[in-house]
A and B are shown apart, each in its own frame.
Chain A
Amino acid sequence: MGMTMTEKIFARHAGLDRVVPGQLIKCKVDLVLGNDITAPPAIKEFERIGRPVFDKNKIALVPDHFAPNKDIKSAEMAKIMREFAKKHDITNYFEVGRMGIEHVLLPEVGLVAPGELIIGADSHTCTYGALGAFATGVGSTDMGAAMATGDTWFKVPSSIKVILTGKMPRWVSGKDIILTLIGLIGVDGARYQALEFTGDGVSALSMTDRLTIANMAIEAGAKNGIFPVDNATLEYISSRVDREYVTVKADEDASYERVITIALDSLTPVVALPHLPENVRPIGEVKETVIDQVVIGSCTNGRIEDLEQAAEILDGKKVHSGVRAIVIPGSQDVYLEAMKKGYIETFIKAGAVVSTPTCGPCLGGHMGILAAGERAVATTNRNFRGRMGHVDSEVYLAGPAVAAASAIMGRIAAPWEVKV
């Protein structure tokens, strides 16, 4: 019996010839990630162990959630991380001004390569599966222990094969693919499992689309989402990664617990209604819903192609008078490129605010918190109760095209309502 991509990466990092679902293994990790919320408790646990860091080049620390510091307490947490980075001479500490949202930043700066095994004290660490790596979110204690030992324990997950066929129609993006899948299988549809994406539809997907899809694997309860390595992957990493890596491929006879096929041609832009990412409806079926805020950004949709889609729709248009539109480039690089391409000007002329890279409103941190009764369309990934502010506010998840169109219309709108 052959192995899936996830099983192969696990076997190699556990020093085993093969692994099977359910097996408990100890794996070496290629990178350990933490942020300003999760790193401080991890550092505390790390210090209890009393060992040096396992490898100062294999730890990434990114202040992104409440950064630039939103208040005194978050300033103190960021300081703990900064001082730790200094003390242990951590190579990949990204200070404000050089940072980005961690999951936009890490692939961008070449910290992710195919076949690698990455853990991060952040649930959306699964984003890196887009590059054919195994990546998953863990907690602070896991992070603290791994910073000392360079390894961690796993239960090998079974896999679900998701076959993507055909090509996406205009205005459909990676966000619509993953939301459609979550709508299909539910928020625990892939619980404890790996989502392995495959099929001829993959080759037509940009890295941005793949990163968006892998990013939200966790919203289906998955341990990881993983994509095959193809020309698009190699092209993406060619200018970013210069260390050696080992690409894995799923065996023809690998075993999957379930196979799901999604015909990309048949997709339409979708929206996930409050308060679960599985409440997915085609845009055409969403009732007239007046909104107060639009957020375009996050580790799900804060990359340059996402901003490009939004800019295309907002170009020459005005944000509705009843809407606050907030655009957050996912990294300094994305910001700079958006500036060069004129998107920032487009956003500002349309009446949107453009923020420095931060998680900000995505987790209800800062930079756009909702009051009671307010509604937002967001390109983020979670619409749980209270996620973006008051417990009686509402978040509607969508891709950048729907978000931008909604900003103009003042209600949830399809892209073709404002742009043909």
Chain B
Amino acid sequence: MILEGRVWRYGDNVDTDVIIPARYLNSADPKELATHCMEDIDPTFAGKVKVGDIIVAGRNFGCGSSREHAPVAIKASGVPCVIADSFARIFYRNAINIGLPLIELGEAVAEIHNGDAVQIDLDTGLVKNVTTGKSYQVQPLPDFIQEIASAGGLINYVKGGRA
């Protein structure tokens, strides 16, 4: 699958409390969560994000709590993929499980800026910054995780009798 979108650029250690503040966790409705997505780091995000836009961030994206509401809010905002230098592990797991693909790009994220257009080929792991013309190759996801992803998330994977 090929994705292309505009970049919302954030820094290091974007935690789940700013992705979706706890005061909104009394709901698990994705649409409602999306209206508060990134609110405490960027109050403009929820109002301006367009379907297909891509979040690009620095190190340890998604650190903090295990709230699945964080990747759910991002996905429900229409963001099809997050690129970061690195991800916190529970966030990584949750994103895979709910079907939000993540690209761990390493330090090269420094070359992607707010508003750039990026193109991502999820099958080959090729990331292209259309604005600067630079391309990056990342490791494709391990088979096991690809199976979960192609089943449409962990629940379908389990339902399919593979776990």
**Are A191 and B93 within 8 A (Cβ)?**
no
Q: Which residues of A contact B18 (CB under 8 A)?
A: 384-386
Complex interface bits, A35-76 against B, C-beta within 8 A gives 1, otherwise 0:
001101100110011100000000000000110001101100
**Are A385 and B98 within 8 A (Cβ)?**
no
Asked, given contacts A188-B86, A363-B22, A386-B18, whether A38 binds B40 with beta carbons under 8 Å apart, the answer is: no
Query: How distant is the Cα of A246 from the Cα of B23 in the complex, in angstroms?
Result: 41
Complex interface bits, A128-157 against B, C-beta within 8 A gives 1, otherwise 0:
000000000111111011001101010000
Asked, given contacts A26-B163, A192-B89, A387-B17, whether A142 binds B154 with beta carbons under 8 Å apart, the answer is: yes
Asked, given contacts A77-B28, A223-B89, whether A45 binds B65 with beta carbons under 8 Å apart, the answer is: no
Q: Which residues of A contact B154 (CB under 8 A)?
A: 45, 141-142, 145
Q: Which residue of B lies closest to A157 (CB)?
A: B89
Nearest CB of chain A from residue B58's CB, rounded to whole Å: 10
Asked, given contacts A48-B155, A49-B155, A73-B26, whether A141 binds B68 with beta carbons under 8 Å apart, the answer is: yes
Q: Which residues of B contact A368 (CB under 8 A)?
A: none
Q: Which residues of A contact B68 (CB under 8 A)?
A: 38, 41, 121, 139-141
Nearest CB of chain A from residue B126's CB, rounded to whole Å: 24
**Count of A interface residues, CB-CB < 8 Å:** 52
Q: Which residues of A contact B122 (CB under 8 A)?
A: none
Q: Which residues of B contact A70 (CB under 8 A)?
A: 26
B113 touches A (CB below 8 Å): no
**Are B158 and A148 within 8 A (Cβ)?**
yes
A365 touches B (CB below 8 Å): yes
**Are B86 and A122 within 8 A (Cβ)?**
no
A212 touches B (CB below 8 Å): no
**Are A145 and B90 within 8 A (Cβ)?**
no
Q: Which residues of B contact A386 (CB under 8 A)?
A: 17-18, 21, 40
Nearest CB of chain A from residue B161's CB, rounded to whole Å: 10
Query: How distant is the Cα of A135 from the Cα of B71 in the complex, in angstroms?
Result: 22
Within 8 A of B (CB), among A362-391: 363-365, 382, 384-387, 391
Asked, given contacts A49-B155, A141-B154, whether A77 binds B26 with beta carbons under 8 Å apart, the answer is: yes
Nearest CB of chain B from residue A261's CB, rounded to whole Å: 25
Q: Which residue of A lies closest to B91 (CB)?
A: A139
Q: Which residues of A contact B66 (CB under 8 A)?
A: 38, 120-123, 125, 137-139
B52 touches A (CB below 8 Å): no
A314 touches B (CB below 8 Å): no
Query: How distant is the Cα of A148 from the Cα of B162 in the complex, in angstroms?
Result: 13
Q: Which residues of A contact B48 (CB under 8 A)?
A: none
Nearest CB of chain A from residue B156's CB, rounded to whole Å: 8
B129 touches A (CB below 8 Å): no
Within 8 A of A (CB), among B48-98: 59-60, 63-69, 71-72, 86, 88-90, 93-94, 97-98
Query: How distant is the Cα of A24 from the Cα of B144 in the complex, in angstroms?
Result: 8
Tell me which of A24, A145, A221 contacts B155 (CB under 8 A): A145
Nearest CB of chain A from residue B77's CB, rounded to whole Å: 17
Centre residue among B60, B142, B155 by max chain A CB count within 10 A? B155
Nearest CB of chain A from residue B140's CB, rounded to whole Å: 14
Nearest CB of chain A from residue B44's CB, rounded to whole Å: 14
Nearest CB of chain B from residue A163's CB, rounded to whole Å: 24
Query: How distant is the Cα of A144 from the Cα of B60 in the complex, in angstroms?
Result: 25
**Are A24 and B142 within 8 A (Cβ)?**
yes
Nearest CB of chain B from residue A76's CB, rounded to whole Å: 8
Query: How distant is the Cα of A139 from the Cα of B88 in the complex, in angstroms?
Result: 12
Known: A38-B68, A363-B17, A363-B22. 18 other contacts (CB 8 A): A24-B142, A41-B28, A137-B66, A138-B66, A139-B66, A140-B68, A141-B97, A141-B153, A142-B97, A144-B155, A148-B158, A149-B158, A188-B86, A221-B63, A364-B17, A385-B40, A386-B21, A387-B22
A-B contact pairs, 23 of them (CB 8 A): A26-B163, A37-B67, A38-B68, A45-B155, A50-B159, A74-B26, A122-B65, A123-B90, A138-B94, A142-B94, A145-B154, A187-B63, A188-B88, A192-B89, A218-B90, A363-B22, A363-B25, A363-B65, A382-B17, A382-B64, A384-B17, A386-B21, A386-B40
Which chain B residues have a beta carbon within 8 Å of chain A's beta carbons? 13, 15, 17-18, 21-23, 25-28, 40-41, 59-60, 63-69, 71-72, 86, 88-90, 93-94, 97-98, 142, 144, 153-155, 158-159, 163
Interface pairs A-B: 5 shortest CB-CB = A139-B94, A73-B26, A139-B68, A141-B97, A188-B60
Which chain A residues have a beta carbon within 8 Å of chain B's beta carbons? 24, 26, 37-38, 40-41, 44-45, 48-50, 65-66, 70-71, 73-74, 77, 120-123, 125, 137-142, 144-145, 148-149, 151, 153, 187-188, 191-192, 218, 221, 223, 276, 363-365, 382, 384-387, 391
